[in-house]
Amino acid sequence: MDCYMIGNENTNTQAPAIVCFDIDNFKHINDNFGHDGGDKVLIDITKRLQRFCGTDSVYRIGGEEFVITLSHELVDYSGSVKTAIESIMRCISVNPILHNHEHIYTTVSGGVVTSQTYDALMWAELDENLYLAKNEGKSRIYKDKSLFCHFK
C-alpha cells in the first residue's frame, strides 16, 4: 500500500492513529476449517471492521493482515485511541463466526502508531509493534515498543 493512501480521502486530514493487525492463529483456522472457513473469517472480519470504522478506513494488505486508519470522529466518540482500539478488538472477538454449523472464535494482535508523518520510518515502527505483539501472545496491541492494550 502506498503511504499517500492513508489520509482520509474525504477530508484530506491525517488520521490520529494507524493500526496494523493480524488475525491470531489464522493458520490453525485454515487447517481446521479449510480455506473456505478462512475466507469466511476474512470476509466477516472485514465487514465488522467496515461497519465499525467506515469503509474508507479499512485496508486488507495481504493474507490475514489489515490496516485501519482511525478517524478523528471514532477517536472522539470513543474517548481515546486506546478505547477505540479496544472497541475494535471487542468487535472482532466477542461474537464467533458461524461456518458450517461450527463457531470460529477470533482474536487479533497488532501495532499502532500515532505519527503524523507517513513515511518508511512510520511503517517500520508499525511493523515492529506488530511483531512484538505477535511474539508476546494473542490479543495484544503494541505502541512505542510496549504493551498498549490487551483484550481478554
Active site residues: 64
Q: How far, in Å, are 14, 41, 129, 136, 140 from residue 64 at the CA level?
A: 25, 9, 16, 18, 16
Three cell numbers, residue 151:
483484550
Using CA atoms, how far apart are residues 106 and 92, in angstroms rounded to an integer?
A: 7
Residue with grid cell 500500500, as numbered in its chain:
1
DSSP secondary structure letters along 118-144: -SHHHHHHHHHHHHHHHHH-SSEEEET
Q: What does R_g of the chain's alpha carbons equal in angstroms?
A: 15
Using CA atoms, how far apart are residues 145 and 65, in angstroms rounded to an integer?
A: 19
Using CA atoms, how far apart are residues 86 and 113, in angstroms rounded to an integer?
A: 15
